[in-house]
Amino acid sequence: MVATRDRIRFLLNDETVKVADVRPDETLLDFLRLRRSLKGTKEGCAEGDCGACTVLVGRLAGDELRYEGVNACIRFVGSLDGCHVVTVEHLRGTGGGLHPVQQAMVDFHGSQCGFCTPGFVMSLYALWMRSPRPGEAAIEKALQGNLCRCTGYDAIVKAAKAISSYGDAAADPLAVERAATTERLTAWRDGARVEVGQGSQRFILPAHVDDLAAVLEAEPDATIVAGATDVGLWVTKFMRDIAPVVFVGHLEELRGVWIENGTLSIGAGVSYTEAFEALNDRIPALGRLIDRIGGDQVRNMGTIGGNIANGSPIGDMPPALIALGASLHLRKGAARRSIPLEDFFLDYGRQDRRPGEFVERIEVPLPAGDAHFAAHKVTKRRDEDITATLGAFHLRLDGAGRVASIRIAYGGMAGVPKRAKAVEAALTGQEWTRATVEAAMERYGEDFTPLSDMRASADYRMTASRNLLLRFFLETSGMAGPVTVGRERAA
C-alpha cells in the first residue's frame, strides 16, 4: 500500500503553494490570473499555440533541476507537484532594475502592443539560461511557439542576441539559487501517491509505475495525461469533463531513453525535447522532424507516448517510428504485451488500447549503418504547424544497388498513420533509380485516398506525398543541387 497525500505543493516564484482544492482540469493560467492575481501571464489562444502564457517550470529530472518554458494555458495545476513555477513577475535585474532579457527587449524595441511580450521574455529567458550566446537558428527555434503580430520579430531576435551583454547567465538568480531550490524540491519527494479532489473529480499522481498500473486497474476510464498538449484543449476548447485524471508526466521510470542490443527504447513519458537530445546525434532525421513539432513549450510538455496513444492521424512521430519498424509496449496491471506500432492504429479515433492499459515504452530497432532514413513533413507554415502530409522512408540497398527493403509510412493521408504498401512492393527488389521511383509514384492511389480539409486539398496531399518519395530518392542518390528549401543561411 502506497502512502497518499491530498494536496499538491509547488514553488510559485519564491512562495510555497500547498493546495488541496484543485479541480482536475484547472489550468495553471487560470490559477495564476484568477487565484493569484498574477496578471503578467496572458491568455492569447488557450490552446498552446501563441505562447503569450509562457512561464518556466523547473522540475527535477533525476537530480538535475531543469527549467523549461511551458504553456500555462494547457498545463494542469495538479501536474505541478514538486515543481518550481517561474512567472514574468519573478524576473529582476541586479540592483532592482530590469532583468537582462527585459532590458534587451526594451533597448531593441522588441515590444509594440506588449501583449505577447511577457511570453517572449520567458521563452528568451529559458533560451538564455541554457545557451547564453545563441545563434540565429537557436533563437528561431526557441521562438517557434511565440506569436507576435506587431513587430515582425527582427527586433526581438536582435534583442535575443544581445542579452548576454546585459548580464551574466551564471549570475542569474535562478542559477545562483539552483542548489537551494533543488534541495527544497528534493525534500518534497515523499514517494506518496497524490490525490486531490473528491469523487470522480480527482487528479491523481501515482507514486510510481506499478502504482500507475494499480490506479488504472481501479479507474480504467480515467484520462491519462502526460504533457496535456492535446488533452489541455479538450478542456479549454471543448469543455469536456476529463475527470478523473491520472497524470504520468512525473514518473521518472517512463522518461528514460536507452539502447540495448541495437534497440532503442523510448519511455512513454519522454518529452520531444528529451527525445531530441537523445536522438538527434544518432538519427538526425528524427531530430529535424522533432524540430518541426509544435514550439519549444509544446516540445517540453508533449511526449512521444502521448503522441502515439492519442491516435491522431496527424501525429508526427508515428509515421517515422513505423518506417523504422518500431514496436509498442503496453501494460495493464501486471500483464504486458507488445505489438508492431502500425497495428496499434485500428481506425480513425480508435486504437488497440484496452481500458486500464497504458503505453510503457516504444522500441525502435536502430537503422543499420548503410540504411537511409528520412522523414519529411509538409505544412502550410514551416514551423509550429500541423501536418498536411508527412512521409517517412527507411531504405536499404543491396550490393547491386537494388532495394533490399523499404518501409514507407505517411501521416495526414488516411484516418491513421499508414504504410504505403503498394509503393513499397513496387520498389522492393528493383533498382534504386529515378525510373523505378517514378513508376512507384504512380502506385500511391492504391495506398491512399486522402481528404480535403483546411490544411490541404486531397489533390495537393497526393501530389506532394508522391513528390516526397522523389525527394527521398534525390537525397539518397546525391543530387548536385539543393533538393528542398530551408532556413539554413548561405555561408
C-alpha cell at 4: 497518499
Other C-beta atoms closer than 10 Å to the C-beta of 145 total 25
Which residue of 121, 226, 317, 406 would you call a contact of another protein, by CB under 8 A?
A: 121
Helices (H), 265-407: 272-279, 284-290, 296-301, 304-309, 317-323, 341-344
The x, y and z cell numbers of residue 467, run together, are 513528390
> Applying CB under 8 A, does 306 fall inside the site for another protein?
no
Q: Could you tell me the end-to-end alpha-carbon distance of the chain, in angstroms, rounded to an integer?
A: 62
Rg of the chain in Å (alpha carbons): 23
Q: Which of 57, 72, 74, 105 binds another protein (CB under 8 A)?
A: 105
Nearer to another protein (CB atom), residue 382 or residue 396: 382
Question: Where in 24-53 is the site for another protein (CB under 8 A)?
Answer: 33, 39-47, 49-50, 52
Q: Which of 258, 257, 283, 281 is nearest to 270 (CA)?
A: 257
How many whole angstroms separate alpha carbon 481 and alpha carbon 474? 10
Residue 45 or 162 with smaller CB distance to another protein = 45
Contact letters (x/-) for another protein, 310-339, by CB under 8 A? ------------------------------
Measured from the CB atom, the residue of 266 and 392 that comes closer to another protein is 392
SS3 for 194?
strand
**Binders in 372-411 for another protein, by CB under 8 A:** 378-386, 388
Q: Which is nearer to another protein, 139 or 414 (CB)?
A: 139
**Contact between residue 388 and residue 456 where contact means Cβ atoms under 8 Å apart:** yes
Binding to another protein in span 434-473, by CB under 8 A? 453-457, 459-460, 463-464, 467-468, 470-471
Segment near another protein (CB under 8 A); pick from 115-123, 127-135, 205-213, 262-270? 115-123
- Sign, CA dihedral 223-71-350-249, equals negative
Q: Please, what is the minimum distance in Å from the beta carbon of residue 393 to another protein?
A: 14
CA 153, 155, 158, 159 dihedral sign is: negative
Q: Which residues contact 449 (CB under 8 A, 6 or more apart)?
A: 414, 458
Which among 105-113, 165-173, 251-259, 270-278 is the span making contact with another protein, rule CB under 8 A?
105-113
Pick 58 or 100: Cβ nearer another protein: 100
List 95, 96, 199, 486, residue binding another protein (CB under 8 A)? 486
Q: Which of 54, 71, 79, 102 binds another protein (CB under 8 A)?
A: 102
Q: How far apart are CA 398 and CA 406, in angstroms?
A: 11
